[in-house]
Structure 1
Amino acid sequence: MRTSLCLLLAATTTLALSACSQEDMQKLDEAEQEQAEVAARQAAEAAMQPAEGTPPAPVCDASPVQGLVGQPADEATVEQAREDAHAERVRVLRPGQAVTLEFDGARLNVEVDESNTIVALRCG
């Protein structure tokens, strides 16, 4: 009888200790997961910020140059359009010309017709 009482007491103690350790482990896992999420969020925010002393990346905005539609696409007009759109680069797209399709947020595309008249301006 005394042996079974000792075994029962030992089993109860073991169960109590294992329940505590499972709860503690779960709390520890949750804390570690929360810390990892915070670290990942901070890393993502840091990656989106330019390095200190780095000028912001230029972003083309074609809306200020839409008034040039219908104008001749001479060299001075195209360059002024690039500056007004805050684009780093400009390319003139002629009818039937093969063009690459990659997006470049710092480039202004000036589309012209057969008579070299501007028909559209867009970034990309």
Structure 2
Amino acid sequence: MEWKILETQSDIDELMQSLDNFHDSCIKDLKYTSGTYVDEDFSMIMNTDPVVNLFIQRQSEFMTTIEFCLEGLSQFHINNILDSTLEIFEASFFEKEGNFYWYSSDDIEDESATSFICKKIKWREL
């Protein structure tokens, strides 16, 4: 499937509507690539632009699995509280001052929410 780039709040609102605000969803998997590595001379090559690929599944026949590619990541917080459900009932997702903010809860102050902040985001249906 082809990647779709999110650029505006309108793009986000359209996606949120089509995904029913992530209702009955869960984070299935994620892949973190730091960009930092050790080269053939055993030198540390530093890269401060990590990428996260985030896979979300939904209890829906429509757009069941979505992959997000997050670039320019400044924050990624995972909270896996054992006495709490990992099901997403309603997520928050918005653009503010050139950053994209996503929370696995409709309450952005909820400390049990998984969240991220990034500069660029694209998505595709799998």
- TM-score higher than 0.5 here? no
- Return the structure number with greater relative CO, CA threshold 8 A, min gap 6: 2
Write 1 or 2 for the structure with the bigger share of helix: 1
Indicate the structure (1 or 2) with the bigger Cα radius of gyration: 1
- TM-score relative to the length of structure 2: 0.24
- TM-score relative to the length of structure 1: 0.24
Write 1 or 2 for the structure with the bigger share of strand: 2
